[in-house]
Chains A and B, each alone.
Chain A
């Protein structure tokens, strides 16, 4: 990977982290003052999707990018299924929808980048995988 590609992806990671941090802090504030917070419940199978990110990362490191693309694509597909379940009128689920949708866009972009540039786009994908675990953690443990 060239320095330019690495620095560019690092900055993309910084910007995306900032975006997710903004939504997270908005959620913390909104949960604290709204008085109408109900923890959203996720179907049990959603937790299993946490492994898809790291799995794809492992496949990239093993040099099997096509496998990583399949695993990443599967993640995006499952995220769309999760989105279909959520109700916007319930504030906790609305926040979850925003985070899942934002992540799905990142994951789709990550998959496209892998398909186009192969393992040179690996750095961004590793971030995407970790970010999904963060989103699940946020709702599973904290919210």
Chain B
């Protein structure tokens, strides 16, 4: 259990992410159900959350805490752990010819700190008042004043911050491990530009993590002190909450947003860069060609990593910060779109002139490219502060980030699983089930997330437990009903994947040493 072998730790991370992703998905189903049936009483809800759903009727605060937990679980424990810590741990040493990571014990500690962090987060469901309701972004003062701002804002929010702080520490340890491994343990004669793009993905992601989590950690600590030690880092003076005057002074809510998004935006790239590396590899192997523009691809990753640190302000266009800085952030944000577009062109050029073999992994990789285009292109709307004014905090944003950061990254995980499963378990994931799962899922994600953009056009704010209060939201009832049903469908077809994943570990077709005819070391060394 406390193994220091990188392969075991990689599998442990993937297992943790798999548990988390299904939990996060179940929470989202409960939310989708409530959005379209806000008055329906459900006994199961009452059994699960006696306080949050008295008589089976879900309260707004329960909806908001499900939303907070869904976002936190998905962003941290799925999108940050599986692509980077899961596959990175397992395959980085193999691909660069190292025996293990540079610090195996530290590696083991990283995983168990992450696991403890997840347990701490889930404990928030069980404590008095339940899980926090301030969203995965936890803006103060809502998150900074304790129980007075809502039921989950007591112990639940404290546990949330503790969990994130632990996650930061674990991620910093993991990042150091990966960077040192890349710098010091490459096989003799292997230069940086001889590494597969997957290794570039993990390397750049680790560099981003090193800087980003080192800022989120103190941000979380300062927020916790505002809650428990009566400091005023983020809490301004003269507040009256629930008719009680709060004795704080001079703090700045925007300061927290700056610290949070300095981490939060690079976090998007932490989720997607390892996937980009995987996609490059899979497209190349199944086109029978080398990756087109290898060097441009590696440099584009570095550019995304670097520019990713100077665009955080685009999350704050309407926050009240200086309107002049919005202009600078906007230009930089559009600039960070350029290397992403360059990568897309290079993927298309990789396919060009090849002989495409449509394995399951290749399906997911091609699906990734399509989703990356669909989800990325709306960034050109949101990156303009003038246009963001209307769309900020509407379902348009929900659609945008789910497609590009959530779904695209998960498609990359599936591509990686189908591609590397023979190496990890000596057997294939069932190809036919994989393709069926791909087609149903691909249709499902378009059906769920494309319509949500249109709720955004109507101006539908996100983070609403129901839409009953507003006349103008009557027009989106049908749209949300459709999306909810598409979500049920999407969730149901995940059972195919789950079955395939566990069944193939025992019963899958036995794989030869290098089943795909790949040229990287994890297949050719032995």
Contact A30 B180 (CB under 8 A): no
For chains A and B in complex, what number of residue pairs have CB atoms within 8 angstroms? 97
Size bracket of the B interface: 35 or more
Contact B232 A22 (CB under 8 A): no
Contact A14 B210 (CB under 8 A): yes
**Binary per-residue interface labels of chain A (7-29) against chain B in the complex, 1 for a CB within 8 Å, 0 otherwise:** 11001101110110011001001
Which residue of A18, A33, A94 contacts B252 across the interface (Cβ within 8 Å)? A33
Which residue on B lies nearest to A27, using beta carbons? B233
Contact A36 B180 (CB under 8 A): no
Contact A19 B218 (CB under 8 A): yes
**Binary per-residue interface labels of chain A (26-48) against chain B in the complex, 1 for a CB within 8 Å, 0 otherwise:** 10011001111100000000000
Which residue on B lies nearest to A36, using beta carbons? B250
Residues 92-106 of B at the A interface (beta carbon under 8 Å):
102-103
The reply on A89 being an interface residue by CB < 8 A is: yes
Residues in B neighbouring A18, C-beta threshold 8 A: 210-211, 214-215
Contact B225 A94 (CB under 8 A): yes
For residue A123, give the distance in angstroms from its CB to the closest CB of chain B. Answer: 13
Contact B180 A15 (CB under 8 A): no
For residue B100, give the distance in angstroms from its CB to the closest CB of chain A. Answer: 11
Residues in A neighbouring B175, C-beta threshold 8 A: 11, 15
Cα distance A19–B168 in the bound complex, in angstroms: 11
The reply on B150 being an interface residue by CB < 8 A is: no
Contact B255 A91 (CB under 8 A): no
Cα distance A19–B221 in the bound complex, in angstroms: 11
Cα distance A12–B172 in the bound complex, in angstroms: 9
Size bracket of the A interface: 20 to 34
**Binary per-residue interface labels of chain B (209-224) against chain A in the complex, 1 for a CB within 8 Å, 0 otherwise:** 0110111011101100
**Binary per-residue interface labels of chain B (223-248) against chain A in the complex, 1 for a CB within 8 Å, 0 otherwise:** 00100011111000100000000000
Residues in B neighbouring A88, C-beta threshold 8 A: 225, 229-231
Cα distance A7–B250 in the bound complex, in angstroms: 41
The reply on A102 being an interface residue by CB < 8 A is: yes
The reply on B249 being an interface residue by CB < 8 A is: yes
Contact B218 A30 (CB under 8 A): no
Residues in B neighbouring A16, C-beta threshold 8 A: 214
Cα distance A13–B138 in the bound complex, in angstroms: 29
The reply on B300 being an interface residue by CB < 8 A is: no
Which residue on B lies nearest to A94, using beta carbons? B231
Contact B259 A15 (CB under 8 A): no
For residue A106, give the distance in angstroms from its CB to the closest CB of chain B. Answer: 13
Contact A7 B215 (CB under 8 A): no
Contact A98 B249 (CB under 8 A): no
Residues in A neighbouring B214, C-beta threshold 8 A: 15-16, 18-19, 22
Which residue of B176, B229, B259 contacts A26 across the interface (Cβ within 8 Å)? B259
For residue B157, give the distance in angstroms from its CB to the closest CB of chain A. Answer: 19
Contact B250 A4 (CB under 8 A): no
Contact A26 B222 (CB under 8 A): yes
For residue B460, give the distance in angstroms from its CB to the closest CB of chain A. Answer: 34
Cα distance A77–B237 in the bound complex, in angstroms: 35
Residues in B neighbouring A37, C-beta threshold 8 A: 250
Residues 85-126 of A at the B interface (beta carbon under 8 Å):
88-89, 91, 94, 98, 102
Contact B218 A23 (CB under 8 A): yes
The reply on B179 being an interface residue by CB < 8 A is: yes
For residue A78, give the distance in angstroms from its CB to the closest CB of chain B. Answer: 22
Residues in A neighbouring B250, C-beta threshold 8 A: 30, 33-37, 91
Cα distance A34–B253 in the bound complex, in angstroms: 11
Residues in A neighbouring B213, C-beta threshold 8 A: 15
Residues in A neighbouring B219, C-beta threshold 8 A: 22, 26
Given the interface pairs A7-B184, A34-B249, A88-B225, the reply to whether A26 lies near B217 with Cβ below 8 Å is no
Residues in A neighbouring B217, C-beta threshold 8 A: 19
The reply on B251 being an interface residue by CB < 8 A is: yes
The reply on B44 being an interface residue by CB < 8 A is: no
The reply on B377 being an interface residue by CB < 8 A is: no
Residues in A neighbouring B232, C-beta threshold 8 A: 34, 36, 89, 91, 94
The reply on B509 being an interface residue by CB < 8 A is: no
Cα distance A102–B222 in the bound complex, in angstroms: 12
The reply on B183 being an interface residue by CB < 8 A is: yes
Contact A98 B183 (CB under 8 A): no
* Partner-B contacts on A (CB < 8 A): 3-4, 7-8, 11-12, 14-16, 18-19, 22-23, 26, 29-30, 33-37, 88-89, 91, 94, 98, 102
Q: Could you list some 21 contacts between A and B, CB below 8 A?
A: A7-B179, A11-B176, A11-B210, A12-B176, A14-B210, A14-B211, A18-B211, A19-B218, A22-B214, A23-B218, A26-B218, A26-B219, A26-B255, A29-B258, A36-B232, A36-B237, A88-B225, A94-B225, A94-B232, A94-B233, A98-B222
Q: 17 extra interchain contacts, Cβ-Cβ under 8 A, other than A14-B210, A22-B259? A: A3-B184, A4-B102, A4-B184, A7-B180, A7-B183, A15-B172, A18-B211, A23-B222, A29-B252, A33-B252, A36-B249, A88-B225, A89-B231, A89-B232, A91-B231, A98-B225, A102-B218
* Partner-A contacts on B (CB < 8 A): 102-103, 172, 175-176, 179-180, 183-185, 210-211, 213-215, 217-219, 221-222, 225, 229-233, 237, 249-252, 255, 258-259, 262
Q: Please name the 9 residue pairs, one residue from A and one from B, whose CB atoms are nearest each other, closest first.
A: A34-B250, A18-B214, A36-B250, A22-B215, A94-B231, A88-B229, A19-B214, A11-B176, A15-B214
